[in-house]
């Protein structure tokens, strides 16, 4: 099979490492360049010993990469930095970005959620939103694809078909989300220490302040053709991988289930459980699958949709490869059918 030449910018973070993990057994991708600014000069196995068995290029600075020898570039850098880096890359280079920088279409929304003006508005316009199942055709044709937020992906898999079908009350949607800690990245913060996080839980970015709300607002309003605001409260859990979104909606539970089952019937990665069954994050960890469950409440007209996915895979690096597969004309599922790891 043709081996597409891949560069990964920001390879020293968790999403970078997850890209390497997945590409390691991808039949049609070969890593030719890895960047990590502060760790340039190191080898990948010094930064991530779990990749010791792979023969990988050394970590370099971005400027050292010859992009003419690269077919597609994954960009796993922090937001803000990302716009500047991508702005300086060749304009014909295929790019899948995993940061937040190109998710929002509206520069004003970007500024509102990220606190500063966007420095590459033209690119922002060009970028395609990377929720594969809903933007397949655009992604196939795209040069620059913006990976979604991991929480934003979990919530959208539960809600997009319901909003599109008009089967739920648009003014009363609450997403109570439980997130594993790898979503916070390899950053040195007190609340991410094992001693502080294990054995407990707490909410964070509550009260409508989490930045992934920008994505919910943009996407849900677009689908509905009117403004849709959801409540969204994430909680940090003592687990490394996985997101579970408990989505409270008002609508007929059976209709909600039928709508989701219909929407995802042919999807290779999104599985809808039988009505009344609810999924566990343990059943998708390490994989590109999203499991959805629907249950009705004892109060008529209320339903809960539970959506689970692995934040690093389906919520980030797996999604990125799924998009890259489309952009490179490879089969969409190539390299992504790895089964979840249990127990």
Active-site residue list: 150
Q: Which one of 145, 239, 320, 330 is in contact with a copy of itself (CB under 8 A)? A: 239
CB burial of 55-70 (b: ≥16 within 10 Å; e: otherwise) equals: ebbebbebeebeeeeb
Among 118, 122, 92, 85, which Cα is nearest to 8's? 85
The token pair at 157 is 């898999």
Nearer to a copy of itself, 97 or 217 (CB): 217
For the record, the structure tokens of 132 come out as: 């594969």
From the list 19-27, 83-91, 160-168, 258-266, the region that binds a copy of itself by CB under 8 A is 19-27
Residue 283 contacts a copy of itself per CB under 8 A: yes
The answer to whether residue 332 forms part of the interface with a copy of itself (CB under 8 A) is: no
Nearer to a copy of itself, 121 or 224 (CB): 224
> Of 153, 157, 150, 94, whose CA–CA distance to 127 is shortest?
94
Among 206, 227, 254, 331, binds a copy of itself (CB under 8 A): 206
- φ and ψ at 94, to 5 degrees? -70, 130
- Using CB under 8 A, pick the residue from 38, 92, 115, 207 that binds a copy of itself: 207
Least separation in angstroms between residue 303's CB and a copy of itself is 9
Number of residues that bind a copy of itself (CB under 8 A): 87
Which range binds a copy of itself by CB under 8 A, 85-93, 133-141, 150-158, 242-250?
Answer: 242-250
Our CA dihedral for 241, 154, 292, 253, rounded to 10 degrees, sits at 140
Given the rule CB under 8 A, which of 30-38, 65-73, 83-91, 282-290 is the region that contacts a copy of itself?
A: 282-290
> Does 295 interact with a copy of itself (rule: CB under 8 A)?
yes
Q: Which one among 240, 255, 258, 261 touches a copy of itself, defined by CB under 8 A?
A: 240
Lookup: tokens for 310: 């692995």
Out of 279, 307, 321, 322, the only residue in the binding site for a copy of itself (CB under 8 A) is 279
For the chain, how far is it from start to end, CA to CA, in angstroms? Answer: 33
Touching a copy of itself, residues 219-238 (CB under 8 A): 229, 231, 233, 235, 237-238
Coil, helix or strand at residue 167: coil
Residues numbered 131 to 160 that lie near a copy of itself (CB under 8 A) are none
CB of 97 to a copy of itself, least distance (A): 22
State which of positions 25-84 bind a copy of itself (CB under 8 A).
Answer: 25, 48-54
Q: Which residues contact 335 (CB under 8 A, 6 or more apart)?
A: 22, 23, 25, 26, 27, 28, 29, 321, 325
Distances (CA, A) of 333 to 4, 28, 282, 336: 15, 11, 21, 5
Residue 290: phi, psi to the nearest 5?
-120, 125
């Amino acid at each position: 099979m043709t081996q597409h030449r891949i560069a990964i910018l920001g390879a020293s973070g968790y999403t970078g490492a997850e890209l390497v993990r997945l590409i390691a057994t991808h039949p049609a991708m070969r890593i030719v360049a890895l960047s990590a600014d502060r760790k340039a000069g190191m080898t990948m196995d010094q930064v991530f010993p779990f990749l010791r068995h792979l023969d990988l290029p050394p970590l370099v600075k971005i400027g050292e990469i010859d992009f003419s020898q690269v077919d597609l570039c994954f960009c796993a850098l922090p937001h803000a930095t990302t716009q500047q880096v991508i702005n300086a890359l060749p304009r014909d280079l295929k790019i899948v970005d995993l940061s937040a920088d190109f998710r929002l279409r509206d520069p004003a929304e970007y500024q509102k959620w990220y606190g500063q003006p966007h420095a590459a508005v033209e690119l922002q316009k060009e970028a395609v939103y990377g929720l594969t199942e809903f933007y397949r055709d655009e992604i196939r044709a795209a040069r620059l694809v913006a990976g979604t937020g991991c929480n934003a992906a979990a919530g959208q898999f539960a809600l997009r078909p319901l909003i599109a079908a008009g089967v739920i009350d648009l003014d009363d949607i609450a997403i109570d989300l439980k997130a594993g800690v790898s979503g916070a990245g390899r950053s040195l913060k007190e609340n991410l220490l094992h001693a502080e996080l294990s054995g407990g839980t707490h909410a964070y970015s509550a009260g409508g302040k989490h930045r992934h709300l920008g994505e919910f607002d943009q996407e849900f309003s677009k689908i509905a053709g009117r403004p849709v605001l959801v409540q969204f409260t994430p909680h940090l859990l003592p687990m490394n991988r996985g997101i579970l979104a408990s989505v409270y909606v008002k609508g007929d539970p059976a209709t909600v289930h039928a709508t989701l089952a219909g929407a995802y019937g042919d999807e290779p990665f999104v599985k809808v459980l039988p009505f009344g069954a609810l999924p566990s994050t343990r059943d998708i960890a390490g994989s590109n699958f999203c499991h959805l469950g629907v249950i009705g409440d004892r109060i008529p007209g209320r339903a809960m949709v539970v959506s689970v996915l692995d934040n690093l895979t389906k919520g980030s690096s797996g999604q990125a490869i799924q998009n890259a597969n489309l952009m490179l004309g490879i089969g969409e599922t190539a390299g992504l059918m790895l089964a979840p790891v249990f127990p």
